[in-house]
Amino acid sequence: MADRKCLALIAHDQKKDDLAAFAKANEAVLSKWRIVATGTTGGRVLDVCPGLDIVRLKSGPLGGDQQIGALIATGDVNCLIFFVDPLTAMPHDVDVKALMRLAIVYDIPMALNRATAEQLIDFRRN
């Protein structure tokens, strides 16, 4: 199934449990995607969904956000789900903004919270 589309998963620290719960609730749909994730986020999702095809990249602050941005720029990521915590300051905020900018520039679907991710998954399911 190498022709499967690729989904990127990222979550800020305070949102990682929420993203893992989202993945568990949508495991059947997510199993149809190739998934790349930042390191810690990917680990949390694999803990609850060990059967998913997830490639873990570096942790976000250590370059994982930039790695996913590069995959967006090369056309290797088709969709981004990034559970953002707007109430906590992020020391790597410039990386986060650059990643979001690339998703917008390359016009890929991007969900920044669970409600939007649910809609995106429902849309992609059909």
pLDDT score of 94? 83
Check whether 41 is labelled as a binding-site residue: yes
Q: Is residue 23 part of a domain?
A: yes
* CB distance 37 to 56 below 8 Å: yes
pTM attached to this predicted model: 0.92
* CB distance 52 to 24 below 8 Å: no
Backbone angles phi, psi at 101, to 5 degrees: -60, -45
Domain count, the chain: 1
Q: Is residue 104 part of a domain?
A: yes
Say how many C-beta atoms besides its own lie within 10 A of residue 105's C-beta. 10
**pLDDT digit string, tens, across residues 51-76:** 999 999 999 889 999 999 999 999 99
**pLDDT digit string, tens, across residues 72-117:** 999 999 999 999 998 887 777 788 889 999 999 999 999 999 999 9
3-state secondary structure of 111: strand
Angstrom distances, CA of residue 6 to CA of 78, 90, 99:
5, 26, 16
Q: Is residue 107 part of a domain?
A: yes
CATH number at residue 40: 3.40.50.1380
Active site residues: 65
Check whether 75 is labelled as a binding-site residue: no
Q: Is residue 6 part of a domain?
A: no
Q: Is residue 20 part of a domain?
A: yes
Check whether 92 is labelled as a binding-site residue: yes
